Amino acid sequence: MEIQIDNHTLERAEERGTNEKEIIDVIHTGFSIPAKFGRIGKAKVFEFKQNRRNKFYEQKRVEVFYMIERNKIITATVYVFYGKWESPK
């Protein structure tokens, strides 16, 4: 299925510390999370092991929210959280 990454999503991705490649990866291989407004939510934890805003983080969790219209995935937004997570069961 075609993926259309909205400009809003790309702007949020840049300021929050992710990119188009990770967004697509989350959509394809992430795990489902709750979403509002009829959207679909997926998340994935990535190894990070870097500093962000002068603090070291082991991992980052990227959450992508999107909808499906006419066999096309259209992103709404992306969130990025930094920390350490256990793998989802």
> Which pLDDT value is given to residue 86?
79
Q: Report in angstroms the alpha-carbon separations of 51 from 2, 20, 60, 83.
A: 34, 21, 11, 11
Above 60 in pLDDT, residue 88? no
Q: Show the domains of the chain with their CATH numbers.
A: 2-83 (3.30.2310)
Could you tell me which residues are beta bridge partners of residue 42?
32, 64
The arithmetic mean of pLDDT across residues 27-50, rounded, is 97
Model confidence, pTM: 0.92
Beta carbons within 8 Å of 1's beta carbon, 6+ residues apart: 68, 71, 72, 73
